[in-house]
Each structure stands twice: as structure tokens, then as C-alpha cells.
Chain A
Amino acid sequence: MVAGGVSKFAKARPDVTFQPMVKEAYDYARKDVPKMKDKDVDGTVGSYFSDHFMRQLKAGAMIQDYLRFIPKSSKRVEGGGATGGLSFQAGWEGVASGRYDVCVVYGWETMSSVETWKGNEFIALASDVSFDYPVGGFYSGYYAMMVARHMYEYGTTVEQLAKVSIKNHMNAMYNPYAQQAAKLTVADVRNSPMVAWPLTRLDICAMSDGAAVAILCDEDTAWRLSDRPVEVTGVGCGTDAMRMADRPHGDVILLPHEKASDYVGTKFKGGKLAYPGIHSFRAGRQASKEAYEMAKISDPKNDISFIELHDAYTSSEIQTYEDMGLCKYGDGGRFVESGAPFLKGVDYGLEFTDEPGQIPVNPSGGLLACGHPVGATGLMQAVFAFWQLQGRIKQHLGNSKLQVPRAERGLIHSHAGTGTYVTVSVLERRH
């Protein structure tokens, strides 16, 4: 990766149609690689989720011409909430296969074209329309059932969820790209309107309009175009049954630092952890396992400098700590209380049980605070991770508060509806 750009995520962008919004992100990335010429770009990947939101099919073709990429090769990639992560990996595949020397991955979503509750209906159509959607299709409700079971299995508390919200909204205070920065308390989160018990409005990310772009290229081109390229050293992707009801109760997929005996004993209902059930994202575990094997990560908590992960819900951030092996299954709530995923130099108004900042998670503010323009989200994570690894957070955000010191290896994690598709990509500093 040699460059990235993000448009400011906003509730609505009626000032432009989607094409100039994507151009803002692309032009920003281009400015970072002045040596790159139009002719250097061999192909592109278009990343956007919903044809319903836009009521414009083949919208990717309209970006392709607006950004002057025609007649070069392009394709659209779609995979729900993981669209951005899947597109990033599709761009990586294009380069790694040798087909492209330079591949531009552009993503966006315009969700302001309908009212919030109609938007929720569109998103809920990404669940089985025979068996799930008609019962009261609402993604916040699906995730709420998942975390209720997590609370039942492991004793996870709503206060632990609230601390994730505090962390991500507070980090965003230093990120000018964020849509909803805020300094919050546990009481603020719990007293905000209940959406789907136990998740309140501040446990849930907002819908947004926004765009993000990542420019990927082969190693020789990377060093020609950039003084600080970042290498993609691992990619992983996992999947699970679309219907949450279909998730079986079998054995945990183990990471290198875990043993089968970790998940047996009286602390688990029935004496053994039933996996994944609806309390965990097996696709997230599978994606992590693949990416870790490829990037030779054996002890995730110590081998990773920071993670930008898909926190559409505070609960899914906690569940994802476990999937990614930052802690054992069941310990996600206590992991937040330890302070490990917080940033050391930021005052959250919270006390921690251990040393804060061991492995910062969502230093950008994540989806909860930056917003979630679906097709752009996974690419936004790539851009923030890229700037972290370049050590150039100050240059791009105007302050260095969120810069993770000595950031060597950053992970990005993208996640689709109740964990049906999950991607994990590993980015490493090379300068």
C-alpha cells in the first residue's frame, strides 16, 4: 500500500452525488504519491454494498468513468459489512497474482437517501428473507441476541460494553474525519435510548455517507512511488451460515497459542464451550487464523501493535477480541476493563485493572465514532492503519494524539452481517 484517502464521514452529503465524494478520497490519496501517473494504474476494484440505498445499479461503472479509469479493468466486490475488507483483499489479489502493478481500490456508501428506519430495513434484507427478515428483521436486534447469549455464557456486563463506546468515541475526539466524536461516561451510554436490549444508541454505529480509497502496488513500484510503503503480509477470510439459527454447537477453532483444554471445565455451560453458538463469530476466528498463519503471528497480543476492527456494535468489538485471540473466549469483557485496548496518552475518565495501551484497538474511533458508510468502512480502516504504520498520523489528522508509538504491525478486520463474512488483513511497516 502506497497511499490512502478518506472523505469526512457525515450523516448526509447532499452537496455532491456519490462520484465527486469518491473523487475527494482518491484525490487525497493521489496527492500522497505525486510520482504516480494516470497511466500507472492498471486496474481498480469498486467497493459498495447496497443497490437499494442508491437505487442506482452498476454505480461502480459511474465511478470508473468519473475518476477517468476507463477503459481499464475493474470489478465490483460486495459482501455486506465486510465489503471494504473483501475489496481490499481483492485489490491485493490483483497485485499478488501479477495481473496489476498498481490497483486502486475505491469504496463508498450513500445511506442518507432514505430515512434511518428504511435504511435498517434495507440492511435487514441482508438476512434470510424467508425465515429471518419477516420475523422482525433488524440487525441491531440480531446482534442484541448474540450479546445476550454472551452475557449469559460468560457474565459479560453492559458496563463493559459501555467502556468500548467510551474508548472509541473518545479516540475520535482527535480524529477530524470522525462523524460522532464525544466524551462519554458509562451513565451516558446506558441512559441513551434503548434500541434493542441491551444495546443503546451509543452501543451502535451510525449510518453515514462517505468514501475511502487505498492504492496498492507491487514491491518495486511501491518503492518507486513512496518513501514509506506498507506491506500486506497476511490475508484471511472466514464465513458462516447466513441464518444465525443455523450456527452449530461444536468445537472451538484453536489459534496457535490456545489448547483444546482451555475450553473445557465448569466455567462453561455443560462443561465444554459450545462453539460458535450465537455468542461468537466463527468466521472472525477463521479469518484471524488464516491471516496469522500467513504473517507468522503466533502470539497475537504481543505480535500486533494495534488493530482497527469492525465495531458496528460495542458487543461485536468484545466478541472480536476473543475471535482474534487477544484474550480467551469468555474474557472479552474483562479485557476491556484491563485497559489493554485503550490508548495510553488519552484520558478516558476510567480506571483500569492493568496497564492500559497494551494493544490499542480502534485508535481511529472505529465505526462507532467515525461512522459506517459500508463500502468505504473497511478501506477507511486500511487508510488509518496505513498512516499509523507510516508514523504520519500527525500529518493527516493534524495532531499525533492517536499515533501508536513504534507501530510495526497493524491489523484491519472487516465483518458482514452477524459474522457471515469476516476478513483480517495484516499490514507491516517497511521503512
Chain B
Amino acid sequence: MAKLPTKVEETMEAGQVFRIPMPLDLAGLDKMSPLVVKQPYNIVYVHSYGQDSPFFAGLTNGRFLSTRCPRCKWAPGTPRGHCMKCGTKMKWVELPKEAVIHSFTVCYFGSEAFLDQCPYVLVMIEWPGVDTLFLGRLFGVDPEKPDLSWIGQKVKLKFLRKAKISPTDVYFVLTEVGEGRKVPRKTLAGRKAPGRAQSQ
């Protein structure tokens, strides 16, 4: 049987008061409970992808770009402006749309920004002949049944059509799930939806 809750969940909604009770005698104030208040803090950053911008532009066009060192041929799976080995300025190249799972985890909890997406699957991706990896999200596996045998499996790269200009504009699905199984595109009424209007 599932464990029943024995605690009321704490939330961040605070009450509002106009006056805090206080004794006339100041001698006892060291024993007073601490006052704890809420201080909100919201920021919007203007973040430039700088020299990595072509990577994100590539994703919006369904292309996965990384870089290569023209001098020592160092080939990372995540682009870098300059070579990690010899410091030379790198050149852009496109990586294949098929790759392999190097490692993974299923996150059942996460940072606040991603809590509503739990459980989600993180994967480190490798390509044959590429020296380093890429961090992404894996779909098409059961997050309730993680298994070490996922490591080494082939994946296909897929791209969001409505890009968010984020590294999650590319995601990964097991090759065998992605192929040979056409999911019928039906509207709620059971009729075929007109091609591109269907959202994911």
C-alpha cells in the first residue's frame, strides 16, 4: 500500500501581518522566535550564445553541428570555439543523425525549473569517431523501468519544429522505437488531422 501523507505540505504563500506581539519588558527579547519573511527575486538575463550561436541556429534547421580542429583533428561532440588540445580556432561540421547512448539517468526529482517534467531521462550521447559527448534528453523509453542495457543502444536525433533556441531543440529516441511503427495521426474526433497542424 502506498504510504499515506502524515504532513501538510509547506508552500511559499506567506500570511500578512501589520503588527508583531512584543512584551513591554525588553529583557526577554533574546528568547523571541526569529521572524522569517519572504523576499521574492526575479531576473531576466540577456544571454548571448556568442561563438556557439551556429549550433543553436543549426538545431532550428534540423542540423546537429559541432566543431573540428583543423590542426590536430580533435573532434568534440559538443561544439567549442577553440580546440581543447591545441588551442586552434575550430571549424564547424555537421554530425550524423544517428548516435549511441554512452550513459543515462532518470530524474524523478529535479531543479525547480524542471520539476513539472519529472520523471525525465538524461543521456550522454556518443558518435563513432567523435572524441567527446553531448548531454541531451531521451524519449521512447519507460522512465519507470531504467536499465543498464540502455547504454550502448542506438538513438536517432530528432528536432523540435518550434525551436526554443535551447540545447533541448534536439532530443533523442531509440532507433527501434522511432522506425517501423507509424503512429496514426488522429484528431480527438478520430479523423486525420491536416499534416503540419498537429503539434507534438
Contacts and interface: CB of A to CB of B under 8 A. Distances in A.
A244 B133 contact: yes
Contacts of A130: 47, 49, 52, 167
A278 B167 contact: no
B108 A195 contact: yes
B105 A196 contact: yes
B112 interface: yes
Given A130-B49, A131-B167, A152-B151, A136 B107 contact: yes
Interface stretch (A116-124, A222-230, A384-392): A116-124
A152 B105 contact: no
Given A245-B132, A245-B134, A141 B122 contact: yes
Contacts of B132: 245-248
Interface stretch (B74-82, B89-97, B177-185): B74-82
B13 to A, nearest CB: 12
A14 B33 CA distance: 9
B200 to A, nearest CB: 18
Contact of B111 (A121, A193, A197, A246): A121
Nearest to B84: A246
29 contacts: A120-B110, A120-B112, A121-B113, A124-B111, A131-B52, A131-B78, A134-B167, A135-B135, A135-B136, A135-B168, A136-B107, A136-B117, A136-B120, A136-B137, A138-B122, A144-B105, A145-B122, A148-B104, A148-B105, A149-B102, A149-B103, A193-B108, A193-B109, A196-B106, A196-B108, A197-B108, A245-B132, A247-B133, A249-B131
Interface stretch (B20-28, B34-42, B188-196): B34-42
A195 B109 CA distance: 5
Given A136-B110, A148-B151, A244-B133, A115 B124 contact: no
Given A132-B135, A136-B117, A245-B78, A197 B106 contact: yes
A129 B123 CA distance: 17
Given A149-B102, A278-B133, A120 B39 contact: no
A201 to B, nearest CB: 9
A141 B47 contact: no
A117 B115 contact: yes
Interface string A137-149: 1101110111011
Contact of B107 (A115, A131, A138, A146): A138
Contacts of A129: 47
Contacts of A137: 111, 113-114
Interface of B: 12, 34, 36, 39, 41, 47, 49, 52, 76-78, 80, 84, 102-115, 117, 120, 122-124, 131-137, 146, 148, 151-152, 166-168
B103 A148 contact: yes
Contacts of B76: 245-246
Q: Which 5 A-B pairs have the closest CB atoms?
A: A144-B105, A121-B111, A149-B103, A245-B133, A117-B112
Contacts of A152: 103, 148, 151-152
Interface string A230-250: 000000000001011111110
A278 B125 CA distance: 12
Nearest to B123: A145
A134 B168 contact: yes
Contacts of B102: 149, 278
Contacts of A120: 109-112
Contacts of B105: 141, 144-145, 148, 196-199
B124 A145 contact: yes
Contacts of A199: 105
B149 to A, nearest CB: 9
B84 A138 contact: no
B52 A194 contact: no
A347 B74 CA distance: 52
A36 interface: no
Contacts of B47: 129-130
Contacts of B137: 135-136
A135 B78 contact: no
Contact of B103 (A55, A117, A124, A278): A278
Nearest to B122: A141
A132 B167 CA distance: 8
Nearest to B115: A117
A145 B103 contact: yes
Q: Which of B47, B111, B124, B132 has the most CB atoms of chain A within a 10 A radius of its CB?
A: B111
A55 B167 contact: no
Contacts of B108: 193-197
Nearest to B50: A130
A15 interface: yes
A351 B125 CA distance: 39
B110 A141 contact: yes
Interface in A245-259: 245-249
A246 B78 contact: yes
Given A135-B167, A145-B123, A145-B124, 8 more contacts: A55-B39, A118-B111, A123-B111, A132-B167, A135-B168, A148-B151, A196-B108, A241-B84
A209 B28 CA distance: 26
Contacts of B34: 14-16
Given A14-B34, A135-B137, A146-B103, A151 B112 contact: no
Interface in A269-311: 278
A117 B118 CA distance: 12
B84 A244 contact: no
Q: Which of B108, B117, B148, B168 has the most CB atoms of chain A within a 10 A radius of its CB?
A: B108
A304 B137 CA distance: 42
Nearest to B114: A136
A131 to B, nearest CB: 5
B131 A248 contact: yes
A87 B131 CA distance: 34
A243 B80 CA distance: 11
